[in-house]
Structure 1
Amino acid sequence: MKVFSVFFFLLATVVAASHGSQDSSDSSCLSWRFAVEANNIRGWKTVPKECEKYVGHYMLGYQYRKDSKAVTDEAWRYVNSLKLPRDGRNIWIFDVDETSISHVPFFSKHGFGTEPINKTLAYEWVNKSKAPALPESLELYRKLLSLGIKVVFLTGRDEEWRKVSATNLKNVGYHTWEQLILRASSYPTNATVESFKSNEKRKLEEIYGYRIIGNIGDQWADIQGIHRGNRTFKLPNPMYYAP
């Protein structure tokens, strides 16, 4: 599966490059994406239809990978600047979807976020456990482990997806973790991602006694709220919004 992950991203880059550079008419979509990533546009349901081509070029091309690498490189510089106590309590929190693994293969067949997500088709895709790793995140994960920092995966997926989530993560190279936290069936269905993750991070610190050194995700909801950690890092994702 590691080979598949690398192959997919290399193939995607070649395909995008073969379509040439983006048209100047895409400038308004670039501005839309910038506003989304800066969290100035919130609560949006779908990508503007006229931006499907732009978002597709971005996600399959060089820039998405470069932007992701800029984030993970900065995360690595940050952690290398720290003098951490070696007491086994240092953890780094990774979101799962569009952070540790990528659903670009799915969204490339469904309008790159311009269409409302078909839950039936999305669940079929997730159930295959074939989402490739985001290479930059996987590299950061390995580096953190080499420093003795433990990894916690914290996802808004429901508990029923534990097995397929663990399988997918292991298949693409995430072989070990301290905890894999999913949303329990008893958790209020109307709770936001931010409130759920904030509460779980609170428990990690107050109940389990961990020290959250860093926290990385593709949604602002992943990195906002209380108990967010010593430093947060936002990966790009213009395909969907989670409050």
Structure 2
Amino acid sequence: MMSKITILRAVVEGLTYLVAFLTKVLGSEKGRPHQQKSAEEEANERFGLSWRVAVEANNVCPWRKVPLQCYQHLQNYMCAGQYERDLNLVVDNILIYASQIPLSPDGMDAWILDVDDTCISNFSYYEKRRFGCDPFDSTIFKEWIMEGKCPANPAVRSLFKSLKERGFKLFLLTGRDQATLSTITSNNLHSQGFVGYQRLILRSPEYKGQSAVKYKSAIRKEIEREGYRIWGNVGDQWSDLQGECLGKRTFKLPNPMYFIS
């Protein structure tokens, strides 16, 4: 009789524990917000992904702002880690390529890096502009630039240091205005670890009004005239990588937030 009571007690205790456990689990599930997306949100997500891929392949051009239905997708892309993973993958492949280049002892092996959203990031500005869904505001953007607080893209900073250590001469080429932004840009780059480059080149008055392609082509041509061999050219815009004297390899970094022709 006692053994039956003992067994019964064990069964009751087991059932009590099971009920308590299920109550806790079901209660926690009940408290969680449902993440089910609406049909419209699903459609926008699919469109946003397709649009971003088309932009990176340079199949959507020219465009002035990001379609509003892409906002949620771009917010997730830029903030949830995928942007960094994509950027890191490109940089990893640049390093593989660079490691195979036989440098000459004359010190004329060169590399070109864009500045904005290549070396340093304008994420803070574009986050407030819904990642390009709001129209570009040149006044507000210049105010942001003048703060001199653009953070480095860590992967590109590591690339910069690796290329410099290997012996490449690094040219930082930007469309920023030389007359008004030279000092703030130089200081910003130095504060973020971009030190020891061969030259920082900004847009001088003679190139004012020219397209980015024409301006940057002219600068690269001048660099080659000086005797440098451009082994690599890195930028977030297709206009960084088009035109003349591109170098032996070009590398496009991801940027679905804006387009510069």
TM-score, normalised to structure 2, is: 0.82
Q: How does 1:101-180 map to 2 (within 5 A)?
A: 101-159=120-178, 160-180=180-200
SS in 1 for 2:144: helix
- Aligned to 1:209, which of 227, 249, 261? 227
Give, in whole Å, the separation in 2 of the partners of 1:27 and 1:217.
Answer: 27
Q: How does 1:1-243 map to 2 (within 5 A)?
A: 24-25=42-43, 26-159=45-178, 160-189=180-209, 191-206=210-225, 208-243=226-261
Give, in whole Å, the separation in 2 of the partners of 1:175 and 1:125.
Answer: 22
SS in 2 for 1:238: coil
Partner of 2:16: none
Letter of the structure 1 residue corresponding to residue 186 of structure 2: A
SS in 1 for 2:120: coil
- Give unpaired runs (5+ residues) of structure 1: 1-19
Partner of 2:15: none
Structure (1/2) with the larger helix percentage? 2
Shift of residue 185, structure 1, vs aligned partner: 1.6
SS in 2 for 1:108: helix
SS in 2 for 1:186: helix
**Quick check: 2:47–2:69 contact (8 Å CA) kept in 1?**
no
Give, in whole Å, the separation in 2 of the partners of 1:93 and 1:60.
Answer: 28
Give, in whole Å, the separation in 1 of the partners of 2:86 and 2:236.
Answer: 12
Give, in whole Å, the separation in 1 of the partners of 2:202 and 2:118.
Answer: 15
Give, in whole Å, the separation in 2 of the partners of 1:185 and 1:115.
Answer: 29
Give, in whole Å, the separation in 1 of the partners of 2:79 and 2:214.
Answer: 32
Shift of residue 21, structure 1, vs aligned partner: 10
RMSD: 1.4
Give, in whole Å, the separation in 2 of the partners of 1:71 and 1:174.
Answer: 19
Identity of aligned residues (%): 40
Give, in whole Å, the separation in 1 of the partners of 2:208 and 2:82.
Answer: 38
Shift of residue 77, structure 1, vs aligned partner: 0.3
Shift of residue 58, structure 1, vs aligned partner: 0.9
> Which whole-Å deviations, capped at 9, do the CAs of 1:102-159 have from their partners, x for residues lacking one?
0001111111101111111111100011011111101100100110111100001111
Q: Computing the radius of gyration over CA atoms, which structure comes out larger, 1 or 2?
A: 2
Give, in whole Å, the separation in 2 of the partners of 1:21 and 1:66.
Answer: 26
SS in 1 for 2:110: strand
Letter of the structure 2 residue corresponding to residue 214 of structure 1: G
Moved over 4 A (4+): 20-23
TM-score, normalised to structure 1, is: 0.88
Give, in whole Å, the separation in 2 of the partners of 1:216 and 1:87.
Answer: 23
Cα distance change on mapping 1:145 and 1:130 into 2, 3 Å: same
> Which whole-Å deviations, capped at 9, do the CAs of 1:72-118 have from their partners, x for residues lacking one?
11100001111121211011100000100000011111111011111
Shift of residue 192, structure 1, vs aligned partner: 0.7
Give, in whole Å, the separation in 1 of the partners of 2:144 and 2:259.
Answer: 19
SS in 2 for 1:51: helix
SS in 2 for 1:155: strand
Give, in whole Å, the separation in 2 of the partners of 1:21 and 1:74.
Answer: 37
Give, in whole Å, the separation in 2 of the partners of 1:185 and 1:128.
Answer: 23
**Quick check: 2:103–2:167 contact (8 Å CA) kept in 1?**
no
> Which whole-Å deviations, capped at 9, do the CAs of 1:47-71 have from their partners, x for residues lacking one?
0011112111111121100100111
**Quick check: 2:217–2:246 contact (8 Å CA) kept in 1?**
yes
Letter of the structure 1 residue corresponding to residue 171 of structure 2: V
Tell me: higher relative CO, structure 1 or 2? Use CA pairs within 8 A at least 6 residues apart.
Answer: 1
